Amino acid sequence: MPHELRFERALKYDSSKGGIVLPVSLVASGRTIECQARVDTGAEHCLFARSFAENLGLEVESGHPLELGTLTSSFLAFGHVITLQTLNMAFESMVFFPASHEIRRNLLGRNGWLNLIQVGIVAYEDTIYLSPYDRAT
């Protein structure tokens, strides 16, 4: 039996950027930061550069501490609940900011982003389709 999914948004992404990179807005304390983040289905949490937290007026170390691991090492990060916006879809999400300024990756991970959306990817067309999960059909 065939299955059908419907999506509210579609975006052609630039595959030359080394993955699926989307425009993202981080909103907290009446401030908004525009950036780009890579979709990372292997990342357990969303992670953004520490400088973004500071520009939002957040005290990084006052957040929920968590040791995050990579293939080769681990690092300390702090979680803060902010509004995360992607393609005009906004979610209240706990995102993490590293203790170190040296970690500058921006990742959309499973908790705080992927678990809140329905996603479809057609890689040979460089297109990602998204809908909020609560409105997905």
52: which residues sit within 8 A by CB, 6+ positions away? 26, 33, 35, 97, 106
pLDDT at 36: 97
d(CA 68, CA 62): 17
* 4: helix, strand or coil: coil
pLDDT at 137: 46
pLDDT at 73: 86
d(CA 77, CA 60): 8
pTM recorded for the entire structure: 0.92
95: which residues sit within 8 A by CB, 6+ positions away? 26, 45, 46, 47, 48, 79, 80, 82, 84, 112
Q: Give the residue ranges of the chain where pLDDT is below 50.
A: 135-137
**Two tokens at 19?**
């993955």
Distance in angstroms between the alpha carbons of the first and the last residue of the chain: 17
pLDDT at 5: 84
pLDDT at 136: 41
pLDDT at 61: 97
d(CA 85, CA 73): 29
pLDDT at 71: 76
